[in-house]
Amino acid sequence: MASLFSSHCLTQLSAITSINGFQFRALDLKQDLPTLQSWFNQEYAQFWGMQGLNLAAIENLMAATEHKFALIGELQGKALFMVEFYDPAHDEIGHHYRVAPGDCGMHLIIAPPDGSPISGLSFKVMDTIAQLVLEKLAFNRLVVEPDQLNSKIHRLNSRVGIRYEKAIQLSTKAAFLGFCTAAERHLASNTPSSTGLVQTSSALPSSLAAPVTSPMTLSTL
């Protein structure tokens, strides 16, 4: 699947119209770049490290390749989030663990609030993406590498079923390496704590419970 990562996924996605009320479409660079630029410049998006970039720079970073591509998730016809999927075998993360067939890396950014807040929206988005990766696209594992300083995403990852294996140092950040299988996602969804916030440390082995300081550079939500 590695050499055909993007084409395989996009072919599978062509048959998917909606998951949990969210519609997915391929990122359209001409149409979506101004929206992405505004999202990346939000204070909460600091972990992407793309604040202040012009449209050409964002286009260069977000352009699809055979090893990565991005989708826009919409709710009621309005762009709500962008998710990027990538093949860990062709990414820096692949130097930090033994990549297995069926691994799928993921980066996510959600639009800033607009109007009345939707209760539990971030969790619904994350769980829908995990469902897309692990069930609809039938990958074996979802792979994440969030910045160690991003405490909000650690809690969210734990609720979805993502468990961190170890701390790693990437070229742009100190991160945690995490994984989630379909079985782990289902277990988390049937655990009482999944209905409310859990402690950050629940996603971490005890040795990783105290995140270390890292520069706030290119990262994932």
User: Tens of pLDDT along 27-47?
Assistant: 999 899 999 999 998 888 777
Q: Is 162 within 8 Å of 134 (Cβ atoms)?
A: no
Taking alpha carbons only, the member of 129, 10, 128, 138 closest to residue 65 is 10
The dihedral region occupied by 172, where left means phi > 0, alpha psi between -120 and 50, and beta the remainder, is alpha
Q: Which tens digit of pLDDT belongs to each residue from 160-216?
A: 999 999 999 999 899 999 999 999 999 998 876 544 434 444 456 555 554 443 332
**pTM for the whole thing?**
0.84
The DSSP secondary structure of 32-55, one letter per residue, reads: HHHHHHHHHTSGGGGGG--TT--H
